[in-house]
Structure 1
Amino acid sequence: MVLDAYTYVFALGTCFALLEAFNNGANDVANAWATSVSSRSVTYRQAMVLCIVFELTGALAVGARTAATIKNGIIPSDAFGTNAGVQLLAFACASAGAATWVMWCTRNSAHVSSTYSLVSSIAGVGVAAVGASKVQWGWNNGQGLGAIFAGLGAAPFISGCFGAIIFMLIKVTVHMRKNPVPWAVWTSPAFFLIAGTICTLSVVYKGSPRLGLASKPAWYIVSVTLGVGFGLFFLAALFFVPFVHARVVKKDDTLKWWMIFYGPLLFKRPPPPDAENRVAKVPNYAVVQEAHGDDSDSSAPVKQDAITEVKADPAAEPSGDAEKGGNNQFEYTQEQYKQLLKDAEERHHANLRKSRGPLGWAMRHLHVNQLGAGSIHETHNLITLVKRVPAQIIVALLYGTSFDIHTAQVGIHNSPEGRRMERVYSYAPKYSNEVEHLYSYVQVITACTASFAHGANDVGNAVGVWAGMYAAWSTGKPSASKAEVPLWQLGITAAVICIGFITYGYNIMKVMGNKLTYHSPSRGSSMEMGAAITILIFSQYSLPVSTSMCITGATVGVGLCNGHIKAVNWKRVGLLFFSWVMTVPIAGLIGGCLMALAVNAPHW
């Protein structure tokens, strides 16, 4: 009977642990990749592929094999004594509390940290299970709640400072020059050096018990990091500089991607006869574009003074009496604004129904088989529900892969948010696509490394509670303070995180990035490097920190480098900070209440 109860609780806890991992991908990982997608350095689908590759590689190849911090930093393992059932139930309730809160936030496009949610839920469970006196409220060597609150305030600020310093270096070195393109070409190896060094440190410093990186001496860390950094520097100088020089300076659009291996021989390649009259063939990195698509040419007309091509039907707009200030701005009622959003969504769905493949079929099937009149239990509605099930499964899996992140980020024309973003964008200088193109390569490196580091280290947060439950269930004893995490659990957790990002990550990405400030590859790479440096510093001193909070702070810091405080959407920043703060008590209350109900429920 006891074993059956253990199995039931473990199965239920496993479901919530995997749901928490799903939310981790849909929230934290989506926020990490939002910078690259918002900057148009990669498309959303490219980000999905890279996320799968580097998250899984980081988790399986160099992933942490212990989860002591997440299991024992808040509630010491000896607090449970010899009662494995209470520990098993506690971790199940903690996962349930964190998963419930993060899922609600993700559903409502509110960004929170899944790590902070889980830690807060564990604290609430600890109060209900073993009493408030056993919970580590202080510093506890950087693992207690005191350290968590310290990181909540300090990490975004420090990350913003580092991001601003890096972007100002790019701005002074390149953007402020009369002819910035050659400066961007010839200085690009230096920024590859910076990115390579920081990214290598993010792996070596945070360490991996399996490879023993955390225990290496200082000379080893310096040698590896500088070796990789200067290796990228020389490879960029040898292959990257000649290639982009021919493409951007000589404006040779006949180059193929594999010609990068020609190296210095490309300097001798003659430019096209009409090079002076050509425009370099590079992507259009403007946030708002007339020409839709991620592969737009830089010569395509760009509309910088408008927010979106999604406009209301003129017949539905209020009369001229509603205009304010003569700026052709209309004040919509709440009903009209909701109708705008509904119309925009319907146009998107109409485009999906025209597409080929499984998603197009599923959208057409759902459009044809809609519920009829009457309640849900009417016979014709029950039959329709059964018919819709296969299509709904396909839509749930594939809808996010075709979501238009950029249109969703810039808002609805003439809506309050649309006008606010129009003001924010107006304070951000728009740099040439040729210059931004060079930094898109740097940003891909920083984004991939961030995903690798997340898989190698932060997956431990998502899998730690599950590993504790598995140890208590399989042995019948409370898990040890440094219980080993099985490889299969790491693999499953990393896979579920990737699924969460692919299927539901768009819900967070559409409110991040360009809704905070104007993005571009040079800005985005600075943000990601600033966040990486901050994570390195906090990790070195064993202080808990959220990757999402760091990238948000760096985004604000780089946005302020535009030269005006109004270049940042402070309303959105305030909402983000409010959601961070509220995560601690709400997730803690959910987890604690679930544990209190479970422990004090009638039993026999």
Structure 2
Amino acid sequence: MARLDQYTYVFVIGTFFAMLDAYNNGANDVANAWATSVSSRSVTYRQAMILGTIFEMVGAITVGARTADTIKNGIIPNDAFKGDAGVQMLAFTCALAGASIWVMWCTRHSAHVSSTYSLVSAVAGVGVAVAGANKVQWGWNNGKGLGAIFAGLVMAPTISACFAATIFMLIKVVVHMRKKPVPWAIYTSPFFFLIAGTVCTLSIVYKGSPKLGLNKKPPSFIAGVTLGAGGGLCLLAAFFFVPFLHSKVIKRDQSIKAYHAAMGPALFKREVQQGERAVVPNYSVVQDDDESISHSSSSASVNVITSVEAEKARVQAEARHKSHKQLVAEGEDRLHAKLRKKRGPIGWAMRTLHENPMGAGQIYEKHNIKTFIKRLPAMIVVGALYGLHYDIHAAQVGIEGTPDGERMKKVYAAAEKYSNEVEHTYSFVQVLTACTASFAHGANDIGNSVGPWAVIYSAWNTGNAAASKQPVPLWQLAVMAATISLGLITYGYNIMKVMGNKITWHSPSRGSSMEMGAAITVLVFSQYSLPVSTSMCITGATVGVGLCNGTFKAVNWQRVSLLVASWIMTIPVAGTIAGVLMGVVLNAPHFR
């Protein structure tokens, strides 16, 4: 059939909203997935951006096509469109618009919602508008209907919490509860590399990527490749990582560098050079500065601590007389003052905006037009780079002197703290678990955006509504994955600052357990073509690990309640926006 050139404008609009939905997905769901690693101080925000981009792309391209098929064909049956490709294009365009509007509003206000459930609800809404409620697949529909998808609303966080709690309790029993936990942490670390490597490999091989044809391989091949990859990573960790970590954490060799890991077991016999002992980074959530721990007990250090405590007391006293809005504004002003001192593009942009404020009157006044022209390049630079310089840790712990700050103090006090030497060991493991979680997100959530876009493209390109059953092209997966990464880099800090340590106390050993529990859950759901929310999985995992402290006080239940409320609100709001939009446009004169 011929291409529907008369509906090219619908294709263009649909493409825009598909990319906007992918951007919001990155700024919301992916940021939440990486918030655990950044909150635990295992990686910096910039490192998270680089690793997140790489593994999102790999997961989306190799595995992502399966859940895209559920979004395309599992909720609204093709016969509901009665062969009208134009109506089908409009339906999925309105679904993307409804989901994008809701998620963007929530992200702007740092409200964490599920982009998966936003889109699923929006598709259901347009389905009702097109063919009536009886045509929407409300039931299980062989695991592809709304009943199966919404079952994940309860199942995903619960299962993820169980997986994460089990992994952390294993770490707690094997390592944290020992009299000498540091050696136990080092020598058992290859086992956790084994878990991460096996899960990541299994997600690619088991039922395989459609592009690689691995789903046609016999079970023995799948088992061999999966266990071989995980076991190989475990052996590499035992041969290179353990000796390196032993030299750095136990022998405290300050001269040890990353490239020394290539020496393998020879590091056990390497003599420690004379000088100061290596300093282990500080993984504490609340810090007075970003420097590493100093174990000095000199009078100078005591005086510094005393002055810091005095300054904290002064700040708290002043905070009691200020509103929350004033305190937030003051915190942002301090951050902006630091950024203006930097030499790079962000420093130039922040100085330009600070030195060229908009004048009196409207934007169309002559002096304001000139000022705006000067500010425009700086605004673009700030929009692209601001998130990379945002102080996420300061934003997470709560503002001194406010109810939120006091609440977080109580949550942190209820959590057991472990030595930095042990946490340092798991910071390396967490890098791998974070990459696995990002791979899992790319495998699962790419279907949210690329599924509807693939329908719009195939209907426009072929003029046939049934063409939506064709496989998703590889280039579409790549484009959406790149757009998701752009959202993470430029706008992810808005969600990241309210997640992580806002729920419970984080550390690398806890964070790696959370990420691995969430990744396993997402991959299990993905193998059955169920688009489950990554956000719900990591949130459930965070709560599960928080409860391993042995008390409900170690979890910020107010934040958890707000998250659950936002998840529930997503279903009617996104569905209504998309359904109403579809009804209005579909019944407008001359559409058909």
Length-normalised TM-score, structure 1: 0.92
Cα deviation for residue 272 of structure 1 reads: 4.5
Q: Which residue of 1 aligns with 2:285?
A: 287
Q: Which residue of 2 aligns with 1:322?
A: none
**1:83 and 1:524, CA in 2 relative to 1: closer, same or farther beyond 3 A?**
same
Cα deviation for residue 235 of structure 1 reads: 1.0
Q: Which residue of 1 aligns with 2:453?
A: 466
**1:226 and 1:74, CA in 2 relative to 1: closer, same or farther beyond 3 A?**
same
Unpaired stretches in structure 1, ≥5 consecutive residues: 319-329
**Residues 1-21 of structure 1: per-residue CA shift (max 9 Å, x gap):** x95540111111111110000
**1:221 and 1:43, CA in 2 relative to 1: closer, same or farther beyond 3 A?**
same
**1:542 and 1:374, CA in 2 relative to 1: closer, same or farther beyond 3 A?**
closer
DSSP 3-state at the match of 1:178: coil
Cα deviation for residue 484 of structure 1 reads: 2.5
Q: Which residue of 2 aligns with 1:252?
A: 253
Q: Which residue of 2 aligns with 1:327?
A: none
- Counterpart CA distance in 2 for 1:227 and 1:171 is 27
**1:235 and 1:307, CA in 2 relative to 1: closer, same or farther beyond 3 A?**
farther
1:53 alignment partner AA: I
- Counterpart CA distance in 2 for 1:571 and 1:214 is 44
Q: Which residue of 2 aligns with 1:438?
A: 425
- Structure 1 position 71 matched with structure 2 position 72: yes
Q: Which residue of 2 aligns with 1:44?
A: 45
Q: Where in structure 2 are the equivalents of 1:95-494 lying within 5 Å?
A: 95-205=96-206, 207-272=208-273, 280-292=278-290, 296-297=292-293, 299=295, 317=317, 331-332=320-321, 336-494=323-481
- Counterpart CA distance in 1 for 2:199 and 2:28 is 24
**1:402 and 1:19, CA in 2 relative to 1: closer, same or farther beyond 3 A?**
same
**Residues 482-513 of structure 1: per-residue CA shift (max 9 Å, x gap):** 22322322221111111100000000000010
- Counterpart CA distance in 2 for 1:518 and 1:239 is 31
Q: Which residue of 1 aligns with 2:545?
A: 558
**Residues 532-559 of structure 1: per-residue CA shift (max 9 Å, x gap):** 2222333344443212111110000000
Q: Which residue of 2 aligns with 1:325?
A: none
Q: Which residue of 1 aligns with 2:496?
A: 509
DSSP 3-state at the match of 1:251: coil
2:22 alignment partner AA: A
2:150 alignment partner AA: F
Cα deviation for residue 220 of structure 1 reads: 2.3
**Aligned 8 A contact 1:17 1:466 in 2:** yes
**Aligned 8 A contact 1:164 1:558 in 2:** yes
**Aligned 8 A contact 1:189 1:233 in 2:** yes
**Residues 254-284 of structure 1: per-residue CA shift (max 9 Å, x gap):** 112111011111111133457xxx6542221
**Aligned 8 A contact 2:68 2:446 in 1:** no
Choose the corresponding residue for 1:518, options 487, 490, 505.
505
Unpaired stretches in structure 2, ≥5 consecutive residues: none
Cα deviation for residue 584 of structure 1 reads: 0.8
**Aligned 8 A contact 2:113 2:567 in 1:** yes
Q: Which residue of 1 aligns with 2:574?
A: 587
DSSP 3-state at the match of 1:350: helix
1:158 alignment partner AA: I
**1:13 and 1:309, CA in 2 relative to 1: closer, same or farther beyond 3 A?**
farther
Cα deviation for residue 214 of structure 1 reads: 3.5
- Counterpart CA distance in 1 for 2:338 and 2:482 is 30
**Aligned 8 A contact 1:399 1:503 in 2:** yes
**Residues 382-439 of structure 1: per-residue CA shift (max 9 Å, x gap):** 3222221111111111111111111111121011110000000001111111111111
Larger deviation, residues 373-382 vs 398-407: 373-382
**1:308 and 1:382, CA in 2 relative to 1: closer, same or farther beyond 3 A?**
farther
- Counterpart CA distance in 2 for 1:76 and 1:307 is 64
Larger deviation, residues 570-579 vs 383-392: 383-392
- Counterpart CA distance in 2 for 1:467 and 1:524 is 35
1:145 alignment partner AA: L
Cα deviation for residue 460 of structure 1 reads: 2.7
**Aligned 8 A contact 1:306 1:422 in 2:** no
**Residues 59-100 of structure 1: per-residue CA shift (max 9 Å, x gap):** 345553783211111101121122111001101100100100
Cα deviation for residue 355 of structure 1 reads: 0.6
Q: Which residue of 2 aligns with 1:53?
A: 54
Larger deviation, residues 36-45 vs 479-488: 479-488
Cα deviation for residue 26 of structure 1 reads: 0.3
Percentage identity across paired residues of the two chains? 67
- Counterpart CA distance in 2 for 1:14 and 1:307 is 53
Cα deviation for residue 480 of structure 1 reads: 2.5
- Structure 1 position 528 matched with structure 2 position 515: yes
- Counterpart CA distance in 1 for 2:237 and 2:4 is 60
Q: Which residue of 2 aligns with 1:87?
A: 88
**Residues 154-176 of structure 1: per-residue CA shift (max 9 Å, x gap):** 11011111111110110111111
- Counterpart CA distance in 2 for 1:527 and 1:310 is 35
Cα deviation for residue 310 of structure 1 reads: 9.9
**1:63 and 1:535, CA in 2 relative to 1: closer, same or farther beyond 3 A?**
closer
- Counterpart CA distance in 2 for 1:570 and 1:298 is 34
**1:255 and 1:372, CA in 2 relative to 1: closer, same or farther beyond 3 A?**
same
2:92 alignment partner AA: F
- Counterpart CA distance in 1 for 2:307 and 2:38 is 20
Aligned residues: 584
Cα deviation for residue 242 of structure 1 reads: 0.9
Cα deviation for residue 307 of structure 1 reads: 12
DSSP 3-state at the match of 1:252: coil
- Counterpart CA distance in 2 for 1:17 and 1:564 is 43
**Aligned 8 A contact 2:21 2:449 in 1:** yes
